[in-house]
Structure 1
């Protein structure tokens, strides 16, 4: 730990970054000197769209509002206070949103200890549970930048039907919705038709950079968070963003970029236990979707704790994050990371957004587009229209149906071993679970077990949530991933009102569409379908533990 303390430290606005300058200086091609000579800090603070090259300029020109959106977001505060008064008595806030529309609010609510039910799934069990809980006290925030997100529109339809089934009139049901969307989107028209409360978001901020816009602030304010404090924290950091020195966000971005360019392109994100909850999931989406394209990028690996497997490796940059450190406390939470980032949540959001944009400059990547995200969406749309083709499992083992390559072993543990062995020398394994994030929470425990069984980084994502996050990296990043997809038969399906498909059918189509996108790229992939989710997960855990004992 003393090694980290001996490294240069960058501090501003309550945010401290340990080790970033040393990481950059040790890189084969340090980035910070060139960033300084090119006046990147000043130009980014001034929202210069030319920083990422001519091809990125058009998109960057309309996507740099996050640099100072915390100032414009103050205009929302009176409206949010009024909205809380109008909705007094509705203390169960359900947020229907995907990707950037849900991840930041979840971090804010968890970190500040406020209750918020996040609905970012198409799993019928999870949707049913969210809409069946305290419905008489529920307000639903529907958040979609484009206004056309299929998951979110499905949630809106299901929630509206739940209110109507509970005896509310259409007008009463509509008044239980708050819709957050961009000006002019189809969802804004829907809000008017429903009689819902409408909050328009900042149109010059992309979804994954929207933490301090209406997408992050509306649901959390309704849940009781003092969102003005987050804006204050970001503003305290903002004065440093135009500087070449004393700019922790610039140092962090330089380190992320130069490390990745030099081969350390896996980013282990680990909470140090000092008060910021779930931040790794938000940063994962920001970094993966911003940088994972054109065969390049940074792969975030969210690690459960400082002592969990998968936090280190020759191609891994280990970064811890936290909210505060006591006097004399050592950053890192018990390990010696390459970089430690500590500071208040509002400053963390702004710093990581800035650092990701800077890393894009270093890597020559446009951080504001997502060229491969729509592919799985189009596959899903096509499969919903035609139906998901029936597949025959390679074999069935208890509650687990195994879909594997034709030459794979006919035993579950050996199939998993084959998949782990397929990981490229500088590759990774992605576990993608199309299950109930809460009811099937044990699935997440597979990540550290698999990480212990292989020398390669292992990521874990809940489907379809990860499609709005690491899904871009899976298709657009380096072609060195191996993939384990887990699906499961729901105990009961749930129709999507007004549509020809159910949530279960939508979930199956999303999983199949993603499989198609990966197999078309010749990525190694095994699918495990759990005919009984609880039994199947227990069986799968036993198989992975057998892998570990037989190493």
Structure 2
């Protein structure tokens, strides 16, 4: 039988140093002080932020009053024939519910995209049976606000009263709470304001959409409650302390990447959730740990990880893993949160702020406010792919093919660098693009991440700008055959999606990072050409 939660150290970067870090954390009673909400653990600069961000340590107790409210609303909706839950949320508002429902095998439509095709597909299916959960701490998240506006109009067009089909999760006193109550939406759930988004799995942001979809969310809280005495203990057997110590020491030895593979955990997509938690919490001040989520224990990047990466099995240990983390979903949530907070102490950073996230949002907003009169001119065009470059003179002037551009981008990566693939496409219908991660990793011998835009901007986007400055970036954008206006806004989703890609690319280039953007004028033909370019000898 699997323990409540456990960390197996298969091999440590330096066992003696790991023991020293463990001893330091225990000498300072870091776990129990964290449980008590001690905001001084990360130093005086971090204290103001930490003092309003530690309520997550008690969520296995404090979130229980939500259970009856969720159950009551689910029963009401089912009685009205409403059994399809659509979640509009970004980052911490969507990643945890996706893991929770996926693990339970319960359907949940997650909208964390600005791709018009993906949103249209979610719109047209059974509006009479659908409820929209709008999740945002403030309501100012542009993607989520756009989804709310679009669905409100679509409900009305289908003869469904929008007010009866929109449920909101937000912070108390937020502009979204006020606007939702004035609009008369079905219900407003208030989350704990003293929990940051990436630590919010066991708040209303994680529990409400999951519970409305049909998950037994009380079990999640029970699992976290069972793990709490272990992960908050001032003991050398504390699995969170062990995980934090190994990752911290590995980072000190140059292993700034954490490769995550599911080895049979029975949990669906935990790596994607942990990716945001670790990257956004640690990736700042030109340091941090970059999660690399791979397809399995035999995937490139895991089996051939170099000295710049620590391999972590989510599930049983394998021959390639340095660490193995096993336990139930609720226990895993709490373990990773505690370990990440403790890693922040080890690395000397504040694990609760995200100082570089807003830059890309501002750049995208400026592009929406003052759109270019003409589309950007590509460096060259190769069939159905326009090639755009920024971030320095890294592309040879005689380059004329996508394969040559890819080779040049990889060559621009510094020692211990990484390749980030960012697809501003349809996560459902363009899913094949995700297969490029493994192929690029195998051929480039770089640790390679893959993220769907704009959702990764609320996840690894902080690390890209604030963490180790050794990444090179491949953006994939494309023409959409769908048009979807955002009611009350002077732009449509396709315009917003492209502005988000261009805005983030602009900020990365300002950081001196090479950016290659491949714009697909035909997505189907573009995919074929992209795959061919990757597989070309020498690429």
Same fold, judged at TM 0.5 (above): yes
Is 1:189 matched with 2:178?
yes
Q: Tell me, in whole angstroms, the C-alpha distance in 2 between the residues paired with 1:228 and 1:108.
A: 12
* Corresponding residue number in structure 2 for 1:136: 128
Query: Which residue among 307, 311, 315 is the counterpart of 1:318?
Result: 311
* Corresponding residue number in structure 1 for 2:388: 403
Q: Tell me, in whole angstroms, the C-alpha distance in 1 between the residues paired with 2:45 and 2:503.
A: 29
Q: Tell me, in whole angstroms, the C-alpha distance in 1 between the residues paired with 2:14 and 2:328.
A: 24
Q: What is the 5 A alignment of 1:368-447?
A: 368-388=352-372, 390-404=375-389, 405=393, 407-408=396-397, 409-447=399-437
Is 1:254 matched with 2:245?
yes
Query: Which residue among 73, 77, 91 is the counterpart of 1:99?
Result: 91
* Corresponding residue number in structure 2 for 1:224: 214
1:29–1:399 CA distance, 2 compared to 1 (3 A): farther
Aligned to 1:33, what secondary structure does the other structure show? helix
Q: Is the 8 A contact 2:263 2:297 kept in 1?
A: yes
1:354–1:17 CA distance, 2 compared to 1 (3 A): same
Which structure 1 segments of 5+ residues have no match? Answer: 1-10, 323-330
1:306–1:293 CA distance, 2 compared to 1 (3 A): same
Q: Tell me, in whole angstroms, the C-alpha distance in 2 between the residues paired with 1:262 and 1:210.
A: 31
Moved more, 252-261 or 299-308: 252-261
Q: Tell me, in whole angstroms, the C-alpha distance in 2 between the residues paired with 1:225 and 1:253.
A: 30
Is 1:290 matched with 2:258?
no
Q: What is the 5 A alignment of 1:314-353?
A: 314-322=307-315, 331-332=316-317, 334-353=318-337
1:28–1:116 CA distance, 2 compared to 1 (3 A): closer
CA RMSD, 1 decimal: 1.6
* Corresponding residue number in structure 1 for 2:520: 530
Q: Tell me, in whole angstroms, the C-alpha distance in 1 between the residues paired with 2:505 and 2:111.
A: 23
Moved more, 288-297 or 406-415: 406-415
Q: Tell me, in whole angstroms, the C-alpha distance in 2 between the residues paired with 1:441 and 1:185.
A: 35
Q: Is the 8 A contact 1:29 1:262 kept in 2?
A: no
Q: Is the 8 A contact 1:109 1:220 kept in 2?
A: yes
Q: Tell me, in whole angstroms, the C-alpha distance in 2 between the residues paired with 1:385 and 1:478.
A: 31
1:536–1:26 CA distance, 2 compared to 1 (3 A): farther
* Alignment: residue pair count: 527
1:12: how far off? Answer: 10
* Corresponding residue number in structure 2 for 1:265: 256
Query: Which residue among 439, 458, 462 is the counterpart of 1:468?
Result: 458
1:27: how far off? Answer: 4.6
Aligned to 1:193, what secondary structure does the other structure show? helix
Is 1:85 matched with 2:75?
yes
Q: Tell me, in whole angstroms, the C-alpha distance in 2 between the residues paired with 1:335 and 1:21.
A: 10
1:23: how far off? Answer: 4.7
Q: Tell me, in whole angstroms, the C-alpha distance in 2 between the residues paired with 1:510 and 1:299.
A: 22
Aligned to 1:52, what secondary structure does the other structure show? coil
Q: Is the 8 A contact 1:220 1:227 kept in 2?
A: yes
Aligned to 2:49, what secondary structure does the other structure show? helix
User: Residue by residue, what CA displacement relative to the aligned partner does 1:462-483 show, whole Å, maximum 9, x if unpaired?
Assistant: 0000000110000001111100
1:45: how far off? Answer: 1.4
Aligned to 1:190, what secondary structure does the other structure show? helix
1:243: how far off? Answer: 2.4
* Corresponding residue number in structure 1 for 2:152: 160
Aligned to 1:528, what secondary structure does the other structure show? strand
Query: Which residue among 333, 346, 354 is the counterpart of 2:338?
Result: 354
Q: Tell me, in whole angstroms, the C-alpha distance in 1 between the residues paired with 2:345 and 2:486.
A: 43
Q: Is the 8 A contact 1:424 1:480 kept in 2?
A: yes
Is 1:281 matched with 2:272?
yes
1:29: how far off? Answer: 8.7
1:336: how far off? Answer: 3.1
* Corresponding residue number in structure 1 for 2:191: 201
Q: Tell me, in whole angstroms, the C-alpha distance in 2 between the residues paired with 1:200 and 1:34.
A: 38
1:493: how far off? Answer: 1.7
Is 1:245 matched with 2:236?
yes
Which structure 2 segments of 5+ residues have no match? Answer: none
User: Residue by residue, what CA displacement relative to the aligned partner does 1:322-358 show, whole Å, maximum 9, x if unpaired?
Assistant: 3xxxxxxxx23x5430000011000000000000000
Aligned to 1:87, what secondary structure does the other structure show? helix
Q: Tell me, in whole angstroms, the C-alpha distance in 2 between the residues paired with 1:421 and 1:21.
A: 32
1:12–1:113 CA distance, 2 compared to 1 (3 A): closer
Q: Is the 8 A contact 2:410 2:419 kept in 1?
A: yes
1:227: how far off? Answer: 0.2
Q: What is the 5 A alignment of 1:54-133?
A: 54-88=44-78, 89-133=81-125
Q: Tell me, in whole angstroms, the C-alpha distance in 1 between the residues paired with 2:3 and 2:180.
A: 39
* Corresponding residue number in structure 2 for 1:179: 168
1:347–1:416 CA distance, 2 compared to 1 (3 A): same
Query: Which residue among 193, 205, 209 is the counterpart of 1:215?
Result: 205
